[in-house]
């Protein structure tokens, strides 16, 4: 099998080599031009591509095609049409036109639009994105598309991402030309998203309403063992998990997704997959597909893949580290410091642009990862805090210090690793150790944004990052554009020096999990947007509206609509959780507790009936504890129920979101605390759903 991987890889993808093979030469060249230079595609070219695509798809077993898009639900959407076309005499041929390839018309009325589109204007369009290759899945040809309304507003995550990539490309090329890199024609953002997830047994999963309805457990006491032994991280893979991972890799490779690294994560039942990075647009599509394939392949193995940010209380949640860099069409990574970062003007300009961007738009970075699920992670001592800051490491910080203070930067010598054992190979240490607590860390030749949650589409964070960096580069360009070449180096030095002084506050190399940092960040004037409602409130500030409209990423209307969709999604999520919890407590947990109370009561009566002299104090004590719990749980449940109704009565979405945050969530937490406490007394056979122990240690 292993020898066949190169043949297997991308076998279900209409990739460059298939295109070269199947398309007439002039059509192939026209399409490449569109992909590389973002030029407009003519219909006759599209027609020719459609014919080749259909032939290839049919040869590979496809009967249908679909325009695959990414509406604001955060999931992907698809509607399948068959290739068949009746030709009379009861016969059909397989047909697919250029028009069908480039444009689709799904009824858009049932997708979230945040008021952008009234239901009577249901028309929406999908438009082919030739920069992300088509592929075959389940005998259907999938065509990646952007999704917009009748009047051209973006209703999806891909359109603004493509817009942000083009803006960044333009601004980066402008400044590179100014710095003398006239051979560079294009710059792309590259992304490598590391995906964390949990695997649980499917049969056990199916017995938990909370997992089914909300993706996370709303009740459940911790078993005697959690993650404290640190024995799961990088531990040997269990056979069932390993079999799942093998199948997943293969499924992803066939789809041309370069799955590279896999390992066990910190929490029991938690794992990670990282691909080799790709251009932003393709990497986002691939990550969406990866999440889908994880669920599908898990199902085949009798497992369920949980992508929620916090499926279990008391152990780590799941994130999605977004590794991000910039690459030129000539293959240069613009965030590679090289051997002498202090003398690398070009690197310093791009590094400084990222620092400036993250400092000025830290609120947007936080907003781009805001969700009800991720609120359980950020700031919870296991994931980066809700405060956005940048980790640069000692060497780069020293480089920036020397520029700011006009001192000489002496390069640190490479240090030989001392292992104390001569048989081990000799190698040099990295110049900086890793920092695990920073939300935005420089990791050698890229930045790693660690705030995104595991279920998030990474389109959002990359739209913000691309646009904010493009804006910083634009401002740098404006400052430098009239400087003669002979004075450029000095001008860049001055610019960087000023920018460091201004944006130094965002750089923090220490431990982000401490309270001292929270205090320090406050002193520095950094945002600490603890929850989704607090974060979203900043979305529509003047500064943010200006950024997006200036670069034509979003219109004001599009931003407001997205703000409303996010708020609504937050409220709905909490509402579903509150209802599910009430249901589980009322119809499952309390009856079980009642049953146990009855058993103990009967048992005490029985003891007394045999002989009044028999001791029953322990049973009576237990009964008192159980009765007390029962009362307290009923009480907490009633409060939650009443406030859930109150929430339903709030019309203003922002008010509703803050009510969820400040009232419903604490109510749920209080109910959970009493129920989890009582669970510890309940005999295993009476617990009406599988315990944490079964969930976490069943595979």
DSSP state of 370: -
Closest distance of CB 464 from ligand ADP, Å: 16
Closest separation in Å from C-beta 321 to ligand ADP: 7
Stretch that binds ligand ADP, among 70-78, 311-319, 322-330, 394-402 (CB under 6 A): 322-330
Nearest residue (CB) to Mg ion, 143 versus 326: 326
* Of residues 117 and 446, the one with the C-beta less far from ligand ADP: 446
Cβ-based nearer residue to ligand ADP, 274 or 521: 274
274 binds, among ligand ADP, Mg ion, none (CB under 5 to 8 A by kind): ligand ADP
For Mg ion, which stretch binds (CB under 5 A), given 318-326, 380-388, 431-439, 619-627?
A: 318-326
Please give the residues from 275 up to 294 whose contact with ligand ADP meets the rule CB under 6 A. Answer: 275-277
**Window of 438-446, 544-552, 559-567, 677-685 that interacts with ligand ADP by CB under 6 A:** 438-446
All residues at 6 or more sequence positions from 443 whose CB lies less than 8 Å from its CB, including other chains: 323, 434
- When asked if residue 270 is in the footprint of ligand ADP (CB under 6 A), the reply is no
3-state helix, strand, coil in the chain (%, to 5): 50, 15, 35
Query: In the bound complex, what is the minimum distance in angstroms from residue 432's beta carbon to ligand ADP?
Result: 11
| Distance in angstroms between the alpha carbons of the first and the last residue of the chain | 26
Q: How far is the CB of 444 from ligand ADP (least distance, A)?
A: 7
Please report which residue ranges of 223-262 form alpha helices under DSSP H.
239-254
With a CB cutoff of 8 Å and minimum separation 6, the contacts of 78 are 66, 67, 68, 69, 140, 142
109 binds, among Mg ion, ligand ADP, none (CB under 5 to 8 A by kind): none
Q: Give the separation between CA 79 and CA 77, rounded to whole angstroms.
A: 7
CA distance 289 to 133: 13
Q: Tell me 400's DSSP state.
A: H
CB under 5 to 8 A by kind: which of Mg ion, ligand ADP, none does 199 bind?
none
Q: Which is nearer to Mg ion, 301 or 321 (CB)?
A: 321
Please report, for residues 235, 315, 546, the alpha-carbon distance to residue 238 in angstroms, rounded to integers and kept in the order given.
Answer: 9, 20, 51
Angstrom distances, CA of residue 250 to CA of 233, 259, 699 = 23, 9, 21
654 binds, among Mg ion, ligand ADP, none (CB under 5 to 8 A by kind): none
CB-nearer residue toward Mg ion: 286 or 321: 321
Which residue has its beta carbon closest to ligand ADP?
Answer: 192
Residue 428 has φ and ψ, to the nearest 5°, of: -90, 150
Contact 195, 290 (CB under 8 A): yes
Smallest gap from residue 443 Cβ to ligand ADP (A)? 5
Phi, psi of 111 (to 5 degrees): -100, 150
Q: What tokens were used for 47?
A: 């027609």
* Minimum distance of ligand ADP from residue 5's CB (angstroms): 18
Q: How far is the CB of 333 from ligand ADP (least distance, A)?
A: 5
Q: Closest separation between CB of residue 558 and ligand ADP, Å?
A: 27
Question: How near is the Cβ of 699 to ligand ADP at its closest, in Å?
Answer: 25
Report d(CA 79, CA 64) in Å as an integer: 10
Number of residues that bind Mg ion (CB under 5 A): 1
Cα distances (Å, whole numbers) of residue 655 to 12, 280, 567, 646: 48, 35, 10, 12
> Closest Cα partner for 198 from 287, 257, 272, 289?
272
Binding map of ligand ADP across residues 184-203, x = CB under 6 A, - = no contact: ------xxx-x---------
Binding at 324: pick from Mg ion, ligand ADP, none (beta carbon under 5-8 Å per type): ligand ADP
Q: Are 74 and 454 in contact (CB under 8 A)?
A: no
CA 472 to chain centre: 24
What is the number of other CB atoms lying within 10 angstroms of the CB of residue 510? Answer: 14
Nearest Cα to 165, choosing from 147, 188, 133?
Answer: 188
CA angle 565, 567, 568 (to 5 degrees): 65
Give the span between the Cα atoms of 106 and 123, in whole angstroms. Answer: 7
User: Nearer to ligand ADP by C-beta: 130 or 275?
Assistant: 275
Binding positions for ligand ADP, 442-471, rule CB under 6 A: 443, 445-446, 448
Site for ligand ADP contains 323 (CB under 6 A): yes
Site for ligand ADP in 132-191 (CB under 6 A): 190-191
As measured in angstroms, the least distance from the Cβ of 275 to ligand ADP is 5
Residue number with CB closer to Mg ion (117 or 321)? 321
Residue closer to ligand ADP by CB (options 290, 371) is 290
Q: Which residues bind Mg ion (CB under 5 A)?
A: 321
Q: Which residues bind ligand ADP (CB under 6 A)?
A: 190-192, 194, 274-277, 323-325, 333, 443, 445-446, 448
């Amino acid at each position: 099998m292993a020898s066949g991987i190169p043949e297997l890889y991308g076998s279900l993808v209409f990739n460059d080599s298939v295109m070269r093979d199947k398309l007439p030469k002039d059509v192939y060249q026209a399409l490449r031009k569109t992909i590389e230079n973002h030029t407009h595609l003519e219909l006759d070219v599209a027609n020719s591509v459609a014919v080749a695509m259909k032939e290839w798809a049919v040869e590979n077993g496809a009967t249908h095609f679909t325009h695959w898009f990414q509406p604001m639900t955060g999931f992907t959407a698809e509607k399948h049409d068959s290739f068949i076309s009746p030709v009379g005499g009861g016969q059909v041929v397989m047909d697919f036109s250029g028009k069908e390839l480039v444009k689709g018309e799904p009824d858009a009325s049932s997708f979230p639009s945040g008021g952008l589109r009234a239901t009577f204007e249901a028309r929406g369009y999908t438009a082919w994105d030739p920069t992300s290759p088509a592929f075959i899945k389940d005998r259907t040809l999938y065509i990646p598309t952007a999704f917009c309304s009748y009047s051209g507003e973006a209703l999806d995550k891909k359109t603004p991402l493509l817009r942000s990539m083009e803006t960044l490309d333009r601004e980066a090329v402008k400044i590179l030309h100014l710095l003398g890199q006239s051979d560079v024609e294009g710059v792309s953002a590259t992304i490598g998203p590391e995906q964390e997830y949990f695997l649980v047994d499917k049969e056990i999963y199916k017995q938990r309403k909370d997992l089914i309805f909300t993706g996370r457990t709303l009740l459940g006491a911790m078993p005697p063992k959690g993650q404290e032994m640190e024995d799961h991280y990088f531990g040997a893979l269990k056979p069932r998990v390993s079999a799942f991972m093998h199948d997943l890799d293969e499924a992803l490779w066939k789809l041309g997704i370069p799955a590279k690294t896999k390992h066990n994560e910190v929490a029991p039942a938690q794992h990670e997959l990282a691909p080799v990075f790709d251009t932003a647009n393709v990497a986002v599509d691939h990550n969406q597909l990866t999440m889908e394939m994880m669920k599908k392949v898990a199902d085949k193995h009798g497992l369920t893949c949980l992508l929620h940010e916090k499926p279990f209380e008391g152990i780590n949640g799941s994130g999605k580290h977004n590794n991000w860099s910039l690459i030129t069409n000539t293959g240069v990574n613009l965030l590679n410091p090289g051997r002498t970062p202090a003398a690398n003007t070009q690197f310093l300009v791009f590094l400084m642009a990222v620092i400036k961007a993250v400092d000025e738009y830290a609120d947007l970075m936080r907003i781009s990862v805001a969700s009800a699920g991720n609120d359980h992670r950020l700031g919870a001592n296991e994931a980066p805090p809700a405060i956005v800051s940048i980790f640069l490491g000692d060497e780069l910080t020293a480089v920036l210090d020397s520029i700011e203070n006009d001192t000489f930067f002496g390069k640190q010598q490479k240090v030989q690793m001392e292992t104390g054992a001569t048989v081990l190979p000799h190698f040099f240490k990295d110049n900086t150790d890793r920092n695990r607590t920073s939300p935005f860390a420089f990791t050698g030749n890229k930045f790693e944004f660690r705030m995104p949650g595991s279920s998030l589409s990474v389109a959002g964070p990359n739209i913000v990052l691309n646009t904010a960096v493009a804006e910083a580069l634009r401002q740098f360009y404006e400052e430098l554009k009239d400087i003669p070449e002979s004075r450029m180096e000095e001008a860049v030095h001055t610019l960087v020096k000023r920018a460091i002084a201004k944006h130094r506050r965002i750089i923090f190399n220490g431990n982000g999990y401490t309270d001292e940092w929270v205090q320090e960040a406050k002193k520095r004037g950094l945002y600490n947007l603890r929850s989704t409602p607090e974060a979203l409130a900043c979305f529509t500030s003047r500064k943010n509206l200006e950024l997006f409209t200036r670069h034509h990423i979003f219109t004001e209307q599009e931003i407001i609509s997205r703000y409303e969709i996010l708020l609504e999604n937050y409220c709905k999520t909490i509402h579903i959780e509150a209802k599910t919890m009430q249901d589980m407590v009322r119809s499952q947990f309390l009856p079980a507790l009642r049953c146990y109370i009855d058993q103990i009561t009967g048992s005490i009566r029985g003891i007394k009936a045999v002989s009044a002299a028999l001791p029953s104090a322990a049973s009576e004590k237990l009964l008192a504890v159980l009765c007390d719990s029962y009362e307290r749980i009923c009480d907490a449940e009633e409060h939650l129920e009443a406030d859930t109704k109150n929430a339903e009565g709030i019309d203003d979405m922002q008010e509703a979101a803050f009510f969820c945050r400040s009232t419903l969530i604490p109510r749920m937490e209080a109910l959970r605390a009493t129920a989890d406490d009582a669970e510890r007394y309940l005999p295993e056979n009476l617990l009406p759903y599988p315990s944490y122990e079964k969930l976490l240690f069943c595979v």
